Amino acid sequence: MSDTLQPIESTFPEFTSLAHQLNPTQVQQAMSLITPAQRIALLAHEHPDGDCLGSALGFAHILRQLGKTCVPVCADPAPRSFKFMPGIETLQNTLGDEQFDLVIALDAGELTRYGAIYKNHQAFLDQATILNIDHHISSSGCGQVNIIEPDAASTTELVTLFQQQTGLPLTKDAAICLLTGLITDTGSFQYPNTSPRTMIIGALLVQHGAVAEQIVKPIFRTQPLAQARFIAAAVNNAQSSLNGRLIWSYATKETLIAVGATPDMDDNASGMLRDLEGVQVAAFFKTYDDPNVTRVSLRSNEPYNVAAVCMRLGGGGHPRAAGATINKPLQAAISLVIAEIEREMQETDRQQGQ
């Protein structure tokens, strides 16, 4: 076998053409909004994640190099695990006196997705000059200029391409923020949205001083001891059926008290159960406040459709991740939902001819 090394650009033309990925007319239109603007608000959507925060903070770092006043804004505070992001302390939860010449709306294409920011500043935002950058396929675009590319793994991928195409200065602080969005929206480059271009942009951001571990560790690896104990309790309480293909567990207010956990620490309990060997569908039940109301979160592997199950129970979601609220105490809710999932899985097995 020949081990001649091909130049990377012959395999990935993207490597040499990062500066030509976006529609040039749109980039030009966006720059014609940015150039005259002096005070710029950068909006991250409500319930912020690494991508909306990374694109708002990262773009702010870039535009500050041009001498502009940049105010990143989000309706909700950033989760504690994002405290490492440079500039996170500049995040505001209001547009204040609304003295902005330009609003850059990031990672959502509908103003309502910016939550209380839109609710509290609707008159201003409805007439404001807006540049919208987003990668959601359902995005309708809420700006005069909309750079929307569903093929991008993250909005920070688009912001980086914008930087490459315009030649705006890319600082280390910006690179850290932009890589954060790339890492969170791809699950550390694990999800299928990770393209060759995504990796190349990751390489570029690392080249500019971002260190992947300093992003991955606080977000994905570090957890409070109470959370680890909560997960241990969930694993201990797990039961299964259909030869281990279906697994479920639960937590109550007593569980939280016993391990010293807070309700937000159950974040990925159902996903953790789904990733156990041999499991195809996982359910996690919780009842923390009202003992007559049980919330269930479902995760599945292909081909099992848990959204179908949740829709029959009055909930909804995606085929592989869905949820519902059941107006029953824990044990009654578990019996109802597990029977419903078993029926769905057996029906799917029949259709697949198993």
Q: Which residues of this chain interact with Mn ion, rule CB under 5 A?
A: 51, 107, 154-155, 185
Min dist. Cβ of residue 135 to Mn ion (A): 6
First and final C-alpha spacing in the chain:
41
The position carrying tokens 């954060």 is 180
Q: Phi then psi for 38, rounded to 5 degrees?
A: -105, -40
Cα(92)–Cα(105) distance, integer angstroms: 14
Nearer to Mn ion, 113 or 208 (CB): 113
Nearer to Mn ion, 51 or 149 (CB): 51
Cα(224)–Cα(226) distance, integer angstroms: 5
H-type helices in 263-317, by residue range?
Answer: 269-274, 306-312
Of all residues in this chain, which one has the CB nearest to Mn ion in the complex? 51
Nearer to Mn ion, 154 or 160 (CB): 154
Measure CA 330 to chain center.
30
Min dist. Cβ of residue 208 to Mn ion (A): 21
Nearer to Mn ion, 84 or 191 (CB): 191
* Residues facing 104 on adjacent strands: 42, 131
Min dist. Cβ of residue 107 to Mn ion (A): 5
Nearer to Mn ion, 141 or 329 (CB): 141
Cα(30)–Cα(106) distance, integer angstroms: 13
Cα(76)–Cα(212) distance, integer angstroms: 25
Min dist. Cβ of residue 317 to Mn ion (A): 18
Min dist. Cβ of residue 315 to Mn ion (A): 24
Q: Which two tokens stand for residue 99?
A: 């003295």
Order of strands, sheet of 69-74, starting from the edge strand that comes earlier in the sequence? 69-74, 39-44, 102-106, 130-134, 145-148
Nearer to Mn ion, 180 or 287 (CB): 180
Nearer to Mn ion, 51 or 173 (CB): 51
- Residue from 35, 57, 15, 46 nearest 156 by CA: 57
CA angle 152, 157, 159 (to 5 degrees): 120
Min dist. Cβ of residue 114 to Mn ion (A): 14
Min dist. Cβ of residue 57 to Mn ion (A): 14
